[in-house]
Amino acid sequence: MAVLVLLAGAEQHFNVPTGATVALFTCNSDFYVLTNGQTAAVPVATDVTFPSPNTIPELNPSALNVTAGVLLSAISPSNCNLIISFYRDSDLS
């Protein structure tokens, strides 16, 4: 489990723990997250280009597939607390 205290506009990142394949998110405000090693940023313009690698962060995901050891990046437009719980697929069945 990870607890991130996000300050408005300040990105935080860390590596997904060994063995994790799923991340569950809880937050008290809007947040954006990328789980592919890219740095998340609060979007400031419309983007419908579907870039590869994906640099468009997810808004308020409840769950995402993750890869152990890959950088997870989170950011919020406001101060908030983000809690991320990590599991293996087999833990959820």
Q: Where along the chain do its domains lie?
A: 2-92
Does the global pTM surpass 0.85?
Answer: yes
CATH of domain 2-92: 2.60.120
Q: How many CB atoms are located within 10 Å of the residue 82 CB?
A: 20
Alpha-carbon dihedral 13, 19, 25, 31, rounded to 10 degrees: 20
Q: pLDDT 10s digit of each residue in the chain, 93 long?
A: 999 999 999 999 999 999 999 999 999 999 999 998 899 999 887 877 766 667 789 999 999 999 999 999 999 999 999 999 999 988 776
